[in-house]
Structure 1
Amino acid sequence: MRMPVEWQPVQQSRTHELVLQSIEEQVFAGKLRAGDRLPPERELAPVFGVSRSALREALRVLETIGVLVAQPGRGPDSGARIVRNPDDALGRLLRLHFALGSYGLHDVLEARVALERSSFSAAAHHADAADLDEAEEVVRRMSEPGILPEEFNELDTRFHVKVASSSGNALTSTLTSAVRESVRPLILRALEAVADWPATRTRLNAQHAELLRLVRSRRGEEAADLAEVHIRGFHGTLVDENRTGDAVEDGGGS
């Protein structure tokens, strides 16, 4: 039987952070779960002993990190509700920290290699036909004549995320999506700068097709090995460029 949520007043210093801490404690204790609604602001602020503006600041932070959604209005669906939505939030945070230089290209490369080796290997054992059919359709669209780098990059991201989501590991999927999203703008600029875009596109997509064939054939270790070669190719070139200052002209994988 679930224990009732017990709201307690918080201290006035750094008010919104203390409100956050109090809500986090209720989640950690299992008293707040995904789907639960918070009391209305007019009721919750006096219970915490804080202003409604401080409460709203705390709720905005929770909404930004993907654990709360707020619906304005007075209807039955209005108010703040606890949710599970880590994918967009993690991607947003990683993109910002990457842009700020919190993580180097080499660190992101190694994280991608570890994550995608795991996801391709696991997908070979756990992916169902529907997931692989969807990934194959993405590969087909990437092979269409005249496709430009921007659309190719979007589909490339979708392919890698789809394989990760079919691996049976939700955390691996979320982290793969966040890491791949964090470097998408940089990869796009590199794709736009290659000397021979049609040849590069053809080579990259040949690797995508082979990766998918290996996953369908349940050859997980081979798929993991090729995924590493694929990622270290193009992404690895970006790391080399960052270290030497040379221009990126071509690459082996995205």
Structure 2
Amino acid sequence: MPTVAEWRPVRQSRTHELVLESIEEQVLAGELKAGDRLPPERELAPVLGVSRSALREALRVMETIGVLVATVGRGPDAGARIVQNPDDALGRLLRLHVALGSYSLEDVMEARVTLERSSFEAAARSAYEEQLAEAAQILERMREPGLTVGEFNDLDTQFHVHIARISGNDLISTLTSAVRESVRTLILKAEEATGEDWPSTARALNEQHTELLRLVRAGEGGRAADLVEEHIRGFHGTLVEGGGPADPRSRPRAKKRS
């Protein structure tokens, strides 16, 4: 018989991880769907055999990753509810990983190029006029005089994410939104750093946006894909190179694929 000194601690999963696994099993089995509410903590904790603090920790993790929203208080709207809201959560996580150096700016740029080439090509094939009219309204607002750099940046993001959404592929839309969000602050800083040159830079960016929308509306997906790649490599490329922002028109055109 081994002595006490010969025993070794067993590896244990943290309790909240076991709770997450249990909830995930319910989702995968189809027992939990988007819109469903979880039982109250006082009922769910004893059923799972865990403390209410461990259950709350698991629910906080699920809220962070965008699959659950918790409403405090009493009444029919209180409690935790399963939701489908991955865009913001993925954007936050990816932004942190970029900041921590998990992914290089070059990796992010290449991902943007791949995703947005696909979304602009698909939008040119399948977008409805009403959807394109919404994109045109965004561009109209981007041309308004007196627009701040921050407001321009917000609308710029809206335009690219809107095209991804009308491409018809929800996953590409979500990934495009997350990748764009991950470098949004860096792009804003680069735009702000243009100083007195910002009005001419904004005009050049708007010219590209306008042409992108024209190509999508005309069904010229291949040309739209080439232009959005040039567009991304222009301003985003200055972040990768570590230099100052350049006029979008001064960047070399993206190489055509052989």
**Same fold per superposition (TM over 0.5):** yes
How do 1:43-122 and structure 2 match up within 5 A?
43-122=43-122
How do 1:86-165 and structure 2 match up within 5 A?
86-165=86-165
Taking the aligned partners of 1:13 and 1:219, their CA distance within structure 2 comes to 53
Residue identity opposite 1:91 in structure 2: G
Would the alpha carbon gap of residues 178 and 249 (structure 1) be closer, same or farther in structure 2, given more than 3 Å must change?
closer
Matched, 1:182 2:178: no
Q: Which residue of 2 aligns with 1:214?
A: 215
SS of match in other structure, 2:137? helix
SS of match in other structure, 2:69? strand
Residue identity opposite 1:215 in structure 2: V
Runs of 4+ in 1 over 3 A off after TM superposition: none
Residue identity opposite 1:252 in structure 2: P
- Which runs of no fewer than 5 residues in structure 1 stay unpaired? 1-10
* Aligned residues between the structures: 238
Aligned-pair identity in percent equals: 71
Taking the aligned partners of 2:13 and 2:121, their CA distance within structure 1 comes to 49
Q: Which residue of 1 aligns with 2:248?
A: 252
SS of match in other structure, 1:187? helix
Displacement of 1:148? 2.4
Displacement of 1:145? 2.4
Displacement of 1:13? 4.5
SS of match in other structure, 2:248? coil
Residue identity opposite 2:206 in structure 1: N
SS of match in other structure, 1:80? strand
1:28-60: per-residue Cα shift (whole Å, max 9, x none)?
122211111111100110011111000000001
How do 1:195-234 and structure 2 match up within 5 A?
196-234=197-235
Tell me the TM-score normalised to structure 1 length.
Answer: 0.90
1:230-254: per-residue Cα shift (whole Å, max 9, x none)?
001110111111xxxx4x142428x
Tell me the TM-score normalised to structure 2 length.
Answer: 0.89
Kindly indicate whether the alpha-carbon contact (under 8 Å) linking 1:45 and 1:51 is maintained by their aligned counterparts in 2.
yes
Q: Which residue of 2 aligns with 1:17?
A: 17
Displacement of 1:229? 0.6
SS of match in other structure, 1:189? helix
Kindly indicate whether the alpha-carbon contact (under 8 Å) linking 1:12 and 1:50 is maintained by their aligned counterparts in 2.
no
- Which runs of no fewer than 5 residues in structure 2 stay unpaired? 1-10, 250-258
Q: Which residue of 1 aligns with 2:7?
A: none
